[in-house]
Chains A and B, each alone.
Chain A
Amino acid sequence: MKKLMICLTMLLLLTGFSWSDENRLNVVTTTTDLKSIAEMIGGEYVSVTNICQGNQDPHFIQAKPIYMVRARNADLWIRIGLELEIGYEEPIIEGSRNTRIQIGDPGHLDASEGVLLLEVPTTQKIDRSMGDVHPLGNPHYWLDPYNGRVMAKNIADRLKKLAPANKDIFGKNYQAFIRKLDEAMFGKELVAEIGGERLWGLELAGKLIEFIDQQNAIRNPQSAIKLAGWVGKMRPHQGKKIITYHRSWSYFVNRFNLVVAEELEPKPGIPPSPRHLVKVIKKIKADDTKILIMENYYSRKAPEFVSKKTGITIVQVANAVGGEKEAVDYISMIDNIAEKIDAALK
């Protein structure tokens, strides 16, 4: 009995230390990219932890007890959605017993709200013989900077709702993030001259290049406008074919007008098979494809085999913040991808 009392007292003492700083919102994100955006918008008023590491395959996460402890103290849980977290979200949220972050609560945010989706299956019936298909669309949408803007908007709105006292600060930080992202996308001068919103409007309509040419036709040479940023960098590579390991690059490729000729995985989520690799090798030779993009958590064995047979350049690059030392935040993560692809395609 005495022992039990000592144990209980110890527990009570321990519990006294676990309450966090009241002024800060406790945010738990599933991925590092969400964490990066939430930090840029929340600034010093949020304390953010993530579940999946930047160099970790987001499809294979274990619902470790430590994640339940983190989620238990969370005011806000942010996920990518589209079933990316299907293998571990439920046991973590349920295991946390946190009644604020259940799906549908203000403390649960699906960042995919309003993002531009690709590869939403249109067949009458999808089934798993098609591999790891996501019935709601390809979940790797954060690799389109446009979606980065939408995610930031979703996060900013939710932070404002949860901490109305810091509304103005979140709003200001959001604007600063958008400005920085737009400048990285189109170049500083172009954003200053035309404005980010307009540029995105043109980009989404596929009229950006036409607009720039049109402007330069009527402007005098001194005030000519020039595409810079990621768009400028990727422009010379428009239409070039690439190979990817997993179907995780669709959004980047779509935004910057590259073409995925083949994937090393025969079907999404199914490891490369020898028979499929032979097909890929033939295709690479036929198309004279120059680069193969892969995340750093996949085995290099199959890519190196393909490279040996074809001479294709392997571009190993992180598609999540923290996956490489260059990818310190959301913007530098995209920057790093554009940089590496550009260097390899030159």
Chain B
Amino acid sequence: MKKNYIYLMVLIIILCSAPLRAQDDQQLEKEIEELLAGAKSSEEIKRPAPSSTGRYFQSLNPDISVIVDTFYQRDDSKEGIAHIFEETEGFGHSCTAGHHHGPDEGFNMNHLELYFSANADPYFKGWGVAAVTEEGAEMEEAVIQTTALPHGLQLKFGKFFSDFGRINPQHAHSWDFSDQPLIYRLTLGTHGLNDKGIQASWLMPTDFYLLAGLEAFQGNNEVMFNHIGGDHLSDKSGPRIFVGWLKLAPNLANVNHAIQFGTFFSRGVHQEEHDGNTDGTYDHWLTGHSKFGGFDFVYKFDDLRAYGVGDITVQGEYFQRRKDLTVENHDLNTALIGRDKIEKQDGYYLQTTYGFLPRWRVGVRWDRIGMINDIDLPPGTSSSPDGSDQLALMVDWTLSEFSRLRFQYTDGDYETEEGKEDVSRIFLQLQISLGTHGAHKF
């Protein structure tokens, strides 16, 4: 009996308390509602309500950026650095003669770079780079690239930089120094290997980074893969250059470090025309192939601090090239037709930069070419001239992500046909980038 009484009491309490609690809850809700209503009506809302204000709308226009790059240059040579490069033993005279490509002493402009890029649709992206100089505009790049191929595959069509090596794919404004290393300047010229063609690349499904690429280019590099054709030389149809490369980056446990290795090989048609008796007209013509290959590496130490303080980059590339040419036509000595001319050269550079202050870096680059420098000439003679080297010191100040001021001093010993030349150069360079904030490649 007593037990039942207790049960009943408990039941009553439970029954009564439930609506009571519900009432409490409702009451609370009502009070909050009132409070909030009051807040809304008055101007007491001190924080913006969560909203979609400022949500990004990606416009359908391409990203546009413009690079303005100007520099002051002086050297202490008699005829200018371009002339010296033209005369460098084993490397000069490889292109069509009379082609002086180089900075003037004093004020210079690197080309004005106009960059447009966008996804075309879900399958392709494209970009174009117009290099505008005082003489006119040049198509530096015009690329269609696939974005939706499976299994890590990608195709690229159009005109573009070959992706071999470290510096070749980079636009001039993203170099760490004001000028190219000798091995690039003297084997491929100021534009590097940049041509019309197609590229297929594959990011392999390995646990580490392994990227392989094959490229076929039409073949118009004026220094190493030159096609002249015409009356005196046989016409070769394109593609005339084939390139294969591999990039490998092991996984390093420590987040501060990153390293990448690369290797490549290329082969292409090469033709030359020369003025042997220097009377102003070409008198002998050669045709054949160039082979070009090498290794590259880059190591980056990221100190994780702001503005690049303590960051270190070490980078190097070694290239070797071989020209196998045959005399196809000779106006002065027909006996030489059919004779071979074989050239073999190599070179490397090693450079490092260090962030010593917020947004300030120093860098050193050591360049050497012609450790191998063998030239076999058609009469059957051969020579092995000495190599050339140069040392560059630079300091740059990246004021913001969009502007950079750089000073560079280069001292080189160049082995030219007129003897050894010791030349010092200075650069004072200022570059700005307008428009879209481009991401930086590794």
Contacts and interface: CB of A to CB of B under 8 A. Distances in A.
A272 to B, nearest CB: 9
Interface residues of A, number: 69
A225 to B, nearest CB: 11
Of B31, B40, B56, B402, the most chain A CB neighbours within 10 A belong to: B56
**Size class of the contact patch on chain B:** 35 or more
A206 B44 contact: yes
Given A64-B258, A72-B152, A297 B400 contact: no
Given A66-B251, A202-B35, A269-B401, A88 B439 contact: yes
A97 B442 contact: no
A65 B209 contact: yes
Interface string A206-232: 110011001100000000000000000
B204 A299 contact: no
B88 to A, nearest CB: 35
Interface in B91-121: none
A55 interface: yes
A55 B260 CA distance: 24
A64 to B, nearest CB: 4
Contacts of B149: 97, 99
A120 B48 CA distance: 11
Given A56-B304, A60-B306, A205-B45, A299 B358 contact: yes
B396 to A, nearest CB: 15
Interface string A74-115: 000000011100111111001111010010000000000111
A201 B32 contact: yes
B54 A137 contact: yes
A163 interface: no
Contacts of A116: 47-51
Contacts of A286: none
B53 A117 contact: yes
B16 interface: no
A345 interface: no
Interface string B252-289: 10010010100000000000000000000000000000
A18 B36 contact: no
Contact of A207 (B35, B305, B401, B439): B35
Q: How would you classify the secondary structure of chain A's contact residues: helix, strand, loop or mixed?
A: loop
Contacts of B437: 83, 86-87
A65 B258 contact: yes
B203 interface: yes
B400 A205 contact: no
12 contacts: A64-B258, A65-B249, A72-B203, A86-B439, A97-B203, A114-B50, A115-B50, A132-B400, A205-B36, A207-B39, A298-B306, A299-B306
Interface of B: 28-29, 31-32, 35-36, 38-40, 44-56, 147-150, 152-154, 203-210, 247, 249, 251-252, 255, 258, 260, 300, 302, 304-309, 358-359, 400-402, 437, 439-442
